[in-house]
Amino acid sequence: MEFNKYFDHTFLKAFATKQDIDTLCQQAKELNTASVCVNEEWVAYCKNVLKDTEVKVCSVVGFPLGQCGLNTKIYETKEALKDGADEIDYVLNVGDVKMGNFDKIKEEMEILTKICHDQHKGIKVIFENCYLTKEEIKKCAKIAKEVKPDFIKTSTGFGTSGATVEDVKLMKDTVGKNVEVKAAGGIHSYAEVKEMIKAGATRIGASATVQIIEEFNR
């Protein structure tokens, strides 16, 4: 895979302006990244700006806490897809994981995955690993191995810490070939990206994409 296609070029800050999103899309066009990752507010706009490119539009759902409830996540997902999203990154309910409600985690994953796959769109499940034990990460990954979303993802970037090589390897070892792994949160250098890919990540979520690719090309 070409190095630039590892990246979801991301801007998810609360203070995003049209200028920020225009810059994001222009950079993604120039770099030909896998996608831009934005809040749902900007999905239709980005889809139009990027319509003559290969760059996909990714939207977040239940972001960043994951505790808005399944019905809200369903609505958000359908709205984002209607507005043109090619991929959905949703946050699972960390509280349900901590309480051992894995049937609910599975049900949510199945429903949201079906909505996306019925429209031939991609879906990634954000675990927010900073709040989970290694055993909890493994249990969620085992559910994903069965349900088969397209990716499981380490972090929102809004938690207490982001992606770690150890977690990426654990996630990939658990899901095997059935599901891919996206590393996101606190990734700022080519050296870090290289280690994440070596551990099994096939997608990288980053706001520092431009600097990372510049490092790679040196």
Give me the residues paired with residue 151 across strands: 124, 180
CA distances from 166 to 33, 40, 52, 63, 195 (A): 25, 31, 38, 24, 10
Q: What Cα–Cα distance (Å) separates residue 76 from each residue in 70, 80, 88, 111, 185?
A: 10, 6, 10, 13, 22
Indicate which residue of 89, 96, 150, 167 is catalytic: 89
Place of tokens 């977690």: 167
- Alpha carbons 73 and 61: distance in angstroms, whole number: 6
Q: Mind giving me the DSSP string for 36-58?
A: EEE-GGGHHHHHHHTTTSS-EEE
What amino acid is encoded at 176 in this protein? Answer: G
Q: Is 52 one of the annotated active-site residues of the chain? A: no
Q: Give dist(CA 192, CA 127) in Å, integer.
A: 20
Query: Active-site residue 89, yes or no?
Result: yes
Which residue in the list 47, 73, 153, 172 is annotated as catalytic?
153
**Residues involved in catalysis:** 89, 153, 182
